[in-house]
Structure 1
Amino acid sequence: MKDRLPRMSIRIDTTPEEFLRRIKALALQIGEFIVESERDPAGGDQVATLRLKPILVTQHRELAGHIIVIPASPDRVTVEVHASHWQPDPPTYRAYAAAAREIFKPLLHQYNRKFHLNRDDVHRLLVSAGFTIEHAANLADIFEHGRALHKRGWKDQAGGD
């Protein structure tokens, strides 16, 4: 009996077009994917699908992850995984989910490190929580500096745990 494969989506923090642009840039920067985009024929220049093919050989032939913009859901994108031949074929739930993790986990990890909660977001949240603009700005600056240290691996460099 064939396993029922999971339906997957990602809640996004920006417009679908910007999310795809960011993911595409990260995938190209990481250098482990062939990146292809398909435009929406009805939408002009808007990307409808981003296809990510791992450069390294995987256990599945011609494995590719797809991020698909669904106009009816502006705060989510759909994620699918395709292969010309799965191992096992047809794919089990476990094999499909593992392939999705293999493709999307490193990208989403980098995305979250780079784009989530920046200085302006922290400032806006602090002001809306009742902090003065000046105090919120100071705290947001501290946040930004701490985040920059974290991105540089300051714990590893300092010999800390």
Structure 2
Amino acid sequence: MANIESRLNALGLVLPPAFAPPPGIVLPFVNVRRIGNRAVLAGHGPQSPEGPLAQPLGKVGRELTIEQGYAAARLTALSMLGYLRRALGDLDRVTHWVRIFGMVNSAPGFVQQPAVINGFSDLILELWGPEAGAHARSAVGMAELPFGMPVEIEGEVQIAD
């Protein structure tokens, strides 16, 4: 079994299946775009282990606590890892995490977006370690996110052939 997959299993974490958008919604893009030794990941949201958007939905600082936002960012990481595994065949092909753009569906006045996106960063660092898992990052507040998601994250990784 692959090293990253072993770590996921040891943590009791499950990668969700591909996200199915709500009826009538068309998403005309790819979730992972490979270009040379890089893979760019489209914006992802938190999925439940079964595949639909994880609950609760809403704004951090109003409907959700920082801790719930952190958990949503962690679930978003698992969604992204599921797409990477399907695109690359093996998560161990990810040699470095390059950059992350984290968006938080924020209530007016909420300014703790970095604490929310830490849910993503902490998991990536736990799985890949301080060298390969280190990434440049932004954590910003948004007035709204698609489908009422509390978090949306996009990123870029370096991959081995």
| TM-score of Structure 1 vs Structure 2, range by shorter chain | under 0.3
Which structure would you say has the larger Rg? Answer: 1
Greater share of strand: 2
**RCO (CA 8 Å, sep 6+): is it higher in 1 or 2?**
2
Greater share of helix: 1
TM-score normalised to the size of structure 2?
0.28
TM-score normalised to the size of structure 1?
0.28
